[in-house]
């Protein structure tokens, strides 16, 4: 079961730390940007999802290996693959690759397993603690994800 | 018109960038931490404020001069002074000082003017754009701020 | 004196705060991404600049007005205009605009004045405090900026 | 094998996202703050370490389960326990607990396994890619960690 999608990002000063390389926690941001664009490529916007369907996706667990450092101005390709699709959850395998000038992958920098859960309720209610009870992924989205998985050759790169 | 309050923070890797020093945008975070603790010292929690009074403070403008760099492991003292108190807004002057081992100020690293506005409405409503109309600062908070200003000698440093 | 360049960004969860909108400090990041891409469009990479010419650009002052909030999934256009070009410094005026579905500007969300200074030395030397003495902007870069200013019609939007 | 140390932090707006809760990636920052203070409590400053011994600790892998959300103004207790001590690496188990008004633990919010490696070289050299070859943890630090492990009752909480 595999989806292939990737998103290209640039490393800016904001992403680095005093070690001269990308701060490791920021790979979680990079991975999420790619998942967001993967959803958007299916026509799913998360802001609209919260407003219309009253569900949001939250991250339940993350497991990341940092293999090699990225530096300022590096171009990274972030991949998105669905490892497991449940009724209320999606498990992703994601990688960060440093690209060379020609756009080819040069080195894998990080690899992660991210589990996301669909939850219901008005998470942002200011009057009380968030609820976050798991709920079924809306059918239209579930179908879109299934369709993407069925077409392993589909690959999308922005620009 | 002057309030004197300060809050001590440490510089961690997360605060630095590949220049080896604190990323300039993070002084806005440091300034906000100090304003938050200044409010808390008056008994005002912003989460409770949003839940109970349905108002939140938002930042309307920031103007910061970066005078000298801070580095990993530096201890910074962040000051909070009320420059101007309006019906619905507060203007702060804030400074970031590097402290030496004895806790004395060694060098001013940044200085900023921050204007904050009290707004009403359920900012976090997922169903539509945030409203953010200015509204009067709740009377109890306004009085607390006035009292603090009247006691310029009051100075608080967390242990 | 005017340069016109703009860079498009998306708002992700990482950019927002519990107010449901983009955390104000992050506009400084958005502005820097646009300045970085403006430099790159002239063929200047900041990592190479530090390595080859031993100079880096640091931010000396920032002044930002926050006019309206941006939300999750918004598309923002960030502009870069040179307000003043000195021997060792550049002053920018930058704006953040929310775009609508057709790519047209819908609303100005933030506007800032950013002053950047060219400094010499090995800023990231681990053995001591950074130096950060102002130094002349390398001639080739100065010329590139001057050329860009002379062509006010030049406008670049990624993808 | 167990070390017990904990560090208390507050949740600020900067830590939250539009879901109304702490952005999950920020637990990695909280965990690092606690590890940094744990090292500092042994007399080890990481800036001095890089300058004097030319070694830095980098994060090799992180695995985090997010159990319950934290909100604005929450007080969190972050724990540090050494799970495994190698010649060039340390594996930590860390937890984030929400505290109630009396300072007692109320709920575990996140739990993580973090592996850190000691690397040599001048990581921040601007002239080339970082090196990051593993090297033995300096003997004095290794001994300090061993001593801490041997005293499982030692528990440190700031103020």
Q: What is the residue-wise DSSP string for C102-121?
A: TS-EEEEEEEEEEEEEEEES
Tell whether the model's pLDDT for residue A1 goes beyond 70: no
Confidence band of C46 (pLDDT split at 50, 70, 90) = confident
Query: pLDDT digits over B54-86, tens only?
Result: 899 999 999 999 999 999 999 999 999 999 999
Which of B4, B15, B17, B100 is the catalytic position? B17
Contacts of residue A52, defined as CB under 8 A and 6 or more positions apart, other chains included, come to none
Q: In the structure encoding, which two tokens stand for residue B6, read together?
A: 């300060």
Query: pLDDT digits over B114-129, tens only?
Result: 999 999 865 444 444 4
Q: Which residues of chain C lie closer than 8 angstroms to B24, CB-CB?
A: 28, 58-59, 62
Inter-chain residue contact D51 with C25, CB threshold 8 Å: no
Phi and psi torsions of A10, nearest 5°? -110, 150
Distance CA C30, CA C108 (A): 14
Neighbours of chain B (3+ CB pairs under 8 A): A, C, D
Contacts of residue D139, defined as CB under 8 A and 6 or more positions apart, other chains included, come to none
Distance CA B32, CA B30 (A): 5
What is the mean predicted confidence (pLDDT) over D65-92? 96
User: Is the separation of the CB atoms in D17 and C16 below 8 Å?
Assistant: yes
Inter-chain residue contact C14 with A36, CB threshold 8 Å: no
Choose from C47, C51, C123 for mutation: most chain A CBs within 10 A: C47
User: Is the separation of the CB atoms in D63 and A63 below 8 Å?
Assistant: yes
Inter-chain residue contact D66 with A56, CB threshold 8 Å: no
Please give the mean pLDDT across all residues of chain A: 87
Q: Which residue did the predictor score with more confidence, B81 or B45?
A: B81
Inter-chain residue contact D130 with A59, CB threshold 8 Å: no
- How far CA C97 is from CA of B129, C23, C67, C81, C154, in Å, comes to 15, 15, 10, 14, 19
Distance CA A111, CA A94 (A): 6
Nearest residue on chain D to A56, judged by CA atoms?
D19
- Whether chain B has a CB inside 8 Å of the CB on D45: the answer is yes
Q: Is A65 a catalytic residue?
A: no
C-beta neighbour count of D25 within 10 angstroms:
22
Contacts of residue A77, defined as CB under 8 A and 6 or more positions apart, other chains included, come to A6, A7, A8, A96, A97, A99, A105, A157
Angle at A153 between CA A10 and CA A77, to 5 degrees: 10
Confidence band of B159 (pLDDT split at 50, 70, 90) = very low
Inter-chain residue contact B18 with A125, CB threshold 8 Å: no
List the one residue out of C24, C32, C40 whose CA is nearest residue C148. Answer: C40
> What pTM was estimated for this model as a whole?
0.92
Query: pLDDT digits over D23-60, tens only?
Result: 999 999 999 999 999 999 999 988 888 888 889 999 99
Q: Which residues of chain D lie closer than 8 angstroms to A61, CB-CB?
A: 63-66
What is the mean predicted confidence (pLDDT) over C17-31? 96
Inter-chain residue contact D32 with B48, CB threshold 8 Å: no
Confidence band of A158 (pLDDT split at 50, 70, 90) = very low
Confidence band of C96 (pLDDT split at 50, 70, 90) = very high
Tell whether the model's pLDDT for residue C126 goes beyond 90: no
* Residue B104 CB burial class (10 angstroms; 0-12, 13-18, ≥19): exposed
Q: Which residue did the predictor score with more confidence, C122 or C156?
A: C122
Inter-chain residue contact A19 with B25, CB threshold 8 Å: no
- Whether chain D has a CB inside 8 Å of the CB on B25: the answer is no
Q: Which residues of chain C lie closer than 8 angstroms to B25, CB-CB?
A: 25-26, 28-29, 32, 62
Q: Beta strands C5-10 and D75-85: pairing type?
A: unpaired
Nearest residue on chain B to D73, judged by CA atoms?
B47
Q: In the structure encoding, which two tokens stand for residue A28, read together?
A: 């979680």
First to last CA, chain A: 27
- How far CA D157 is from CA of B8, D77, D153, in Å, comes to 16, 9, 13
Percent over 70 (pLDDT), chain B: 86
User: What is the reported pLDDT for A153?
Assistant: 46
User: What is the reported pLDDT for A125?
Assistant: 44
Distance CA C23, CA C109 (A): 12
Least CB–CB distance from D13: residue in C17, C51, C54: C17
Q: Which residues of chain A lie closer than 8 angstroms to C124, CB-CB?
A: 18, 20
What is the mean predicted confidence (pLDDT) over B80-109? 94
What is the mean predicted confidence (pLDDT) over A45-66? 92
List the one residue out of A68, B82, B157, A36 whose CA is nearest residue C74. Answer: A36
- Whether chain A has a CB inside 8 Å of the CB on C127: the answer is no
**Nearest chain A Cα distance for residue D3, angstroms:** 23
Q: In the structure encoding, which two tokens stand for residue B132, read together?
A: 């953010």
Query: pLDDT digits over C48-61, tens only?
Result: 888 888 899 999 99
Confidence band of A87 (pLDDT split at 50, 70, 90) = very high
User: What is the reported pLDDT for D37?
Assistant: 97
Taking one residue from B and the other from D, the number of pairs with CB-CB distance under 8 angstroms is 51
Confidence band of B148 (pLDDT split at 50, 70, 90) = confident
C-beta neighbour count of A131 within 10 angstroms:
12
Q: Which residue did the predictor score with more confidence, D115 or A147?
A: D115
Q: In the structure encoding, which two tokens stand for residue D14, read together?
A: 């900067």
* Residue D40 CB burial class (10 angstroms; 0-12, 13-18, ≥19): middle
Please give the mean pLDDT across all residues of chain B: 87
- Whether chain B has a CB inside 8 Å of the CB on C124: the answer is yes
Percent over 90 (pLDDT), chain D: 68
Confidence band of A47 (pLDDT split at 50, 70, 90) = confident
Residues of D that are catalytic: 17
Least CB–CB distance from A59: residue in D24, D59, D123: D24
Taking one residue from A and the other from C, the number of pairs with CB-CB distance under 8 angstroms is 51
C-beta neighbour count of D44 within 10 angstroms:
18
User: What is the reported pLDDT for A53?
Assistant: 87
């Amino acid at each position: 079961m595999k989806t292939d999608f990737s998103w290209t990002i640039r490393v800016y000063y904001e992403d680095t730390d005093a070690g001269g390389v990308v701060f490791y926690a920021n790979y979680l941001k990079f991975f999420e940007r790619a998942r967001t664009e993967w959803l958007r490529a299916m026509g799913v916007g998360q802001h609209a999802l919260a407003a219309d369907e009253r569900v949001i996706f939250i991250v339940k667990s993350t497991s990341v290996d940092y293999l090699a450092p990225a530096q300022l101005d590096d171009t990274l390709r972030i991949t998105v693959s669905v490892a497991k699709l449940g009724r209320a959850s999606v498990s992703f395998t994601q990688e960060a690759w440093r690209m060379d000038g020609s756009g080819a992958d040069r080195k894998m920098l990080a690899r992660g397993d991210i589990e996301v859960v669909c939850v219901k309720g008005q998470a942002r209610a200011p009057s009380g603690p968030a609820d976050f009870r798991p709920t079924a992924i809306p059918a239209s989205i579930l179908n879109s994800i299934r369709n993407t998985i069925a077409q392993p050759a589909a690959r999308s790169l922005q620009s």
